[in-house]
Structure 1
Amino acid sequence: MKNAALIGGGIVVLLGLLYVLSLAGRGPQENLVSPNGLHWHPTMTIYVDGEKQPIPANIGLVGRHYPMHTHIEDVGDGVIHFEFGGKVYRDDLRLKHFFSVWNGMMVENAFGRLNRMLVNGEEITEYGEYVVNQNDAIELFYESSENAQ
């Protein structure tokens, strides 16, 4: 009788543990974008006081190769390379990560005050939290601190 109670209790504990583990694994799987890496080329254009700003080449390639980076040959077109290996989650693709690689800047105040952000022509208010997609065309409109009121 005592052995049956121990076995029954062990089964209940085991089932409870399996249930908790299944819940813990559910969150990351729902946020999984790719199990085998990705290679995307979204574009970004930055304006300060209405003037287009150049994006430097080799962001994320000096000293270390970051998954989000720029190249000499296409940075003039605003291309940002997203080259991730292994599992890629939604959080990995947030715009703030590119700005962090680019001298630790925050999207909201990298070039003054961010007034407007368009992605594929639609206004977005998530700014740094925005999850970049494969063919996104991102436009950021800043007002310099000299012109801010």
Structure 2
Amino acid sequence: MKKIATKWWIIGFVVFIISLFGLQKFLQNGDPDVITSNGLHSHPQLAIYVKGEQQEIPANIGIGAVHQPTHTHTEDADQGIIHLEFGDIVRNSDIKLGKFFEVWGKDIRSFGSNMTMTVNGETNTEYENYMMRDGDKIELHYD
């Protein structure tokens, strides 16, 4: 009788553990806006040109009293490197180019009219809705 109780206890424990993993997967996949729940660290590059002249992207955007996951650093801001450093859940909206401009306190269209954008040398019309990826080379041109 004791062996049967132990057997059922072990089976119950295994079912419980499997259920926990299943629940975690369900919750993770339950929100289609969630890219990952394990964090993200990537570095797209942004260049902004107004009438052909490259504009400076300041250092320490998003760094201050509150350290934003989307930010720039002193050592590579002159190269236009955007740091996307998330510790846990990352949603689509977190990695959109528009989010960087929001953290910067600028409107993506504030540099001028007739905006065009390329990503890795290819024309792209997603503009502020573009979801940045590691190693992207993003150029915004304003006439």
Smaller-chain TM-score range?
0.7 to 0.9
Aligned residue in 2 for 1:14: none
60, 71, 74: which one aligns with 1:72: 74
The 5-angstrom pairing of residues 82-93 of structure 1 reads 82-93=84-95
Q: TM-score, normalised by structure 1?
A: 0.73
Q: 1:76 to 1:25 in 2, by over 3 A?
A: closer
What letter matches 2:107 in structure 1? Answer: M
Q: What SS does structure 1 have at the residue aligned with 2:141? A: strand
How far apart are the structure 2 equivalents of 1:84 and 1:102?
17
Q: Is the 8 A contact 2:34 2:92 kept in 1?
A: yes
CA deviation string 1:17-52 (max 9, x = no partner): xxxxxx998552x43322211111110000000001
Q: Contact 1:114/1:140 (CA < 8 Å) preserved in 2?
A: no
> Map of 1:1-149 to 2, 5 A cutoff?
28=31, 30-103=32-105, 105-107=106-108, 109-143=109-143
C-alpha distance in 1, partners of 2:124/2:138?
Answer: 10
Paired residues, number: 118
Provide the secondary structure at the position in 1 that maps to 2:81: coil
- Cα distance in structure 1, aligned partners of 2:40 and 2:113: 32
CA distance 1:74–1:89, shift in 2 (3 Å): same
Measured in 2, the distance between the counterparts of 1:31 and 1:93 equals 11
Q: TM-score, normalised by structure 2?
A: 0.75
Displacement of 1:114 in angstroms is: 4.6
Q: Quick one: distance in 1 between partners of 2:76 and 2:28?
A: 39
Give how far 1:106 is off: 2.1
User: Shift in Å at residue 62 of structure 1?
Assistant: 2.2
Unaligned 5+ runs, structure 2: 1-25
% identity of equivalent residues:
47
Q: CA RMSD in A?
A: 1.9
* CA distance in 2 between partners of 1:33 and 1:26 (Å): 9
